[in-house]
Amino acid sequence: MNRVSFDVDRIRTDFPAATRTVHDGRRLVYLDNAATTLKPRVVVDAMAEHMLLGASNVHRGLHYLSERATEAYEAARDSVRDFIHAAAREEIVFTNGTTAAINLVAHSFGAQLNEGDEIVVSQMEHHSNIVPWQILCERRGCVLRVAPIDRNGELIMEAYRDMLSDRTRLVSMVYVSNSLGTVNPMEEVISGAHAVGAKVLVDAAQAVATRAIDVQALDCDFLAFSAHKLFGPTGVGVLYGKQEHLEAMPPFLGGGDMIASVRFEKTEYNRVPYKFEAGTGNIGGVIALKPAIDYVSAIGFEAIQAHEQDLLTYATDVLRGHEGLRLIGTAREKAAIVSFLVGDVHAHDVGSILDQEGVAIRAGHHCTQPVMEFFDVPATARASFSIYNTREDVDALSLSVGKVKELFE
Amino acid sequence: MSALDELYQQVIIEHNRKPRNFRVIENATYAAEGFNPICGDHFHIYIVVGDDGCIEDVAFDGKGCAISKASASMMTQALIGKSETEARQLLAEFNSLAKGDLDPDKDDNALGKLTVFSGIWKFPARVKCAVLAWHAATSALDEVDIVSTE
C-alpha cells in the first residue's frame, strides 16, 4: 500500500486530544469527525499567539499590531485561495461557518431571484442547505425542488437532470453527505446545471478535509466550508464565489469594513470580498485556518484518502460482521463516514454505551431529518474517521457495539 | 456498579423490551404529546380520571430510546390509582430526582421503584430522555380544556 509518507503515530502526537483519556482512564476513540475534527497544536498556537501577542483588529489601525494582524489575516485568504485553487483572492469571503456562507448566498444571490424561479437541492442535504432556501422561497416566491436519492443513499442522477429546466436558477448541493458518507458526482451535477444556465453552490463542509478541491476544475459558482471540520477553529468559514457573481450581488450584512464611504444620503460599498465581511470577524480563527491548511497540505490528500478509505473499508467489513447491524448509506463512492443501527436499539442508547467505552460517535438525525425520514429511522449512530484514527479504533468501535448487543439482547 | 450498569439497570432494559400500558386510550380524560426534536423521541400520554377523581388508567405510545421508553412505562404504572394531587406531587419528585436535586435516601418521596433513575443526573445528555413522558403527563394534566372527553 502506498502509505510511505503517512505516519499515523506521528500525526496522533500532533493532536493532544487524540491521545487523551476519558471517563477515568479510558483511551479516547474519537469517531465524531464529521461533527468537528480535533485540532493540532499548530492551529491552537497560532490562535493563541494572535490573542496573546497581537489581538488587534484588521484593515483599520495604522499601528504595528494591526498591520501584523492584517497581514496574517490576508495571508490566510491567500492560503485558502491556493488550497481550493480559486482564480483570485477576491473570491474568498470569510464567514463564521458553512451555514453563514450558504445564508449569505441565499440572501444576496437570492435577492436577484423572482417568483417562479427554481432552486434545486438534494434529499441528502444538511438542514443548513435546506432552511435558507425555504426562507428565500417564502420571501421571493421561488420554488424549492428536491432531487431524490435511492436506497443506497446515492443521488438519482436521471431524476436530478429531469428536474433541471430554464426555470432553474441555482443548484445547491452537498459534495459529501454528513449522515450517509455519499460522495456526489459534483462535476456532473455542475455541468448539468450549467447546461440550463443555472448556478451551483457546493456545500463542501464534509468534503474539505477528505479530498483536494479545485473550484476552477469543478467550475462551481459558489463553494462553502467551515474551518472546524478541517482541523481549524470553530466560528470560521469560507465562501468561495466567482468574482463576477460576488460583484453583482448586493451586500448581506451592513456595517463597518464593508463600506467605502458612508453618508446619510448615500453609502458606497467596499470592493469584494470586503463587501461581504461586515463587522469584526473571528480574526484569530481566520489566522489559525492557515496552519490548518498547511498541516493537511503537508500530508497531502492522496495519503489522507488512502488512509481513510482503508479505515472505511475495514469499518464497513467489521460492522457488517455484527448480526442485526444495519448500515444506512451504502453508496459506491463514500467518505469515511459510517451510519448504522444496532438491531432495534435506539441510536442514543448506542451513543451512551459507546461513550462509556471511550468511543465518541454521533447519535441522532445529524441535521438531516429528510434522510432519516427516507430511511424510516428516527436516528442513526454515526462513526466518522479522520487522519489520526487507526484500525485499532475500528476494533474498539466493534467491541463496544458488541457491548450494546450484549446489554440489549 | 459501573456507570453503564447504573444507566441501563436490568429493570430499565426489561421495561424497554416490554413496555407496560403501551397502547392508545381513545377516550382519555387528558392526553398530551411529548416530543424531543433533538433525538426524535415522540410519545403520546393518555390519562383517564375516574368519578372519584383518582387516575384509573394511564397509557402511552410512540417511539423513543430505552431510557425514555422505560421511564414512560414505569410512570404509567406509578400514576394509576393516584389522585391528581398525588400525581402532580410524584411528577415533581421525579423531575427533581432526574436532575439530582432529590436524594431518595434522604428526602421524603413516593418514588418507590422509580429510584432506579436516581443516577441519571450523571448523564446530562440523557436527563431529557428520562423526563420526557413526565413532562408530557404534566402538560396533559394542565391542559384540562383541550382533551377532556365527557
Answer whether A116's CB lies under 8 Å from A167's CB. yes
Task: Count CB-CB contacts under 10 A for residue A194.
Answer: 16
Per cent of chain B over pLDDT 90 is: 77
Candidates A40, A48, A17, A84; CA nearest to A285 is A48
- Model pTM greater than 0.90? yes
Position A145 pLDDT exceeds 80: yes
DSSP-based three-state secondary structure for B92:
helix
User: In this complex, do A353 and B4 lie within 8 Å of one another by their Cβ atoms?
Assistant: yes
Average pLDDT over residues B30-42: 85
Asked if B66 and A353 come within 8 Å (Cβ–Cβ), the reply is no
Helices marked H in A61-214: 64-84, 98-108, 131-140, 157-163, 186-195
Check residue B5 and give its pLDDT. Answer: 85
Instruction: Tell me the pLDDT tens digit for each residue of B125-141.
Output: 899 999 999 999 999 99
**How do residues A320-376 score in pLDDT, each as one tens digit?**
999 999 999 999 999 999 999 999 999 999 999 999 999 999 999 999 999 999 999
Q: Are B29 and B47 in contact (CB under 8 A)?
A: yes
What CATH number is given to the structural domain containing B90? 3.90.1010.10
**Residue B148 within a domain:** no
Tens-digit pLDDT profile for residues B47-96: 999 999 999 999 999 999 999 999 999 999 999 999 999 999 999 999 99
Phi, psi of A373 (to 5 degrees): -65, -40
Strand partners, A200: A171
Chain A to chain B Cβ contacts (< 8 Å): 52
Task: Parse chain A into domains and list their residue ranges.
Answer: 8-39+300-408, 44-298
Angle formed at CA A38 by CA A397 and CA A389, multiple of 5 degrees: 35
| Average pLDDT along chain A | 96
- Is some CB atom of chain B closer than 8 A to the CB atom of A350? no
Residues 6+ apart with CB under 8 A from A366: A34, A126, A178, A179, A339, A380, A382
Per-residue pLDDT, A55: 79
pLDDT in tens, A390-401: 999 999 999 999
* Percent of all residues in chain A with a pLDDT value above 70, rounded to a whole number: 99
Nearest residue to A92 (alpha-carbon basis) of A281, A298, A296, A304: A281
B147 inside domain = no
Q: Which of A23, A348, A403 sits opposite B65 (nearest CB)?
A: A348
Contact B67 A372 (CB under 8 A): no
- Catalytic residue numbers of A read 367
In chain B, the residue whose alpha carbon lies closest to the alpha carbon of A372 is B40
Q: Is A105 on the interface with B (CB under 8 A)?
A: no
In the numeric block, the cell 491567500 is attached to A78
Supply A109's cell numbers. 444571490
pLDDT at residue B145 greater than cutoff 50:
no
Per CATH, which fold does A8-39+300-408 belong to? Aspartate Aminotransferase, domain 1 (3.90.1150)
CA–CA dist B109, B115 (Å, integer): 10
Q: What is the DSSP letter of A52?
A: I
CA separation for the pair A107, A140 (Å, rounded)? 10
Amino acid at the residue A387: I
Q: Which amino acid is at B4?
A: L
What is the CATH number assigned to the segment(s) A44-298? 3.40.640.10
Quick one: pLDDT band at residue A87, thresholds 50, 70, 90? very high
Complex prediction ipTM: 0.87
| CA Rg value for chain A | 22
> Which residue in chain B has the smallest CA separation from A408?
B13
Q: Which domain holds residue B36?
A: 3-141
Cα pseudo-dihedral B135, B138, B144, B145, rounded to 10: -10
Contact B66 A378 (CB under 8 A): no
Number of domains in chain B: 1
Q: Does A408 touch chain B (CB under 8 A)?
A: yes
Half-sphere exposure of B50 (CA within 13 A, CB side): 11
| CB proximity A372 to B under 8 Å | yes
Phi and psi dihedrals of A201, rounded to 5? Answer: -105, 130
Percent of chain B at pLDDT > 70 equals 95
Section A271-289 average pLDDT? 96
Q: Give exposure, A161-174, as e/b (b: 16+ Cβ within 10 Å).
A: eebbeebbbbbbbb
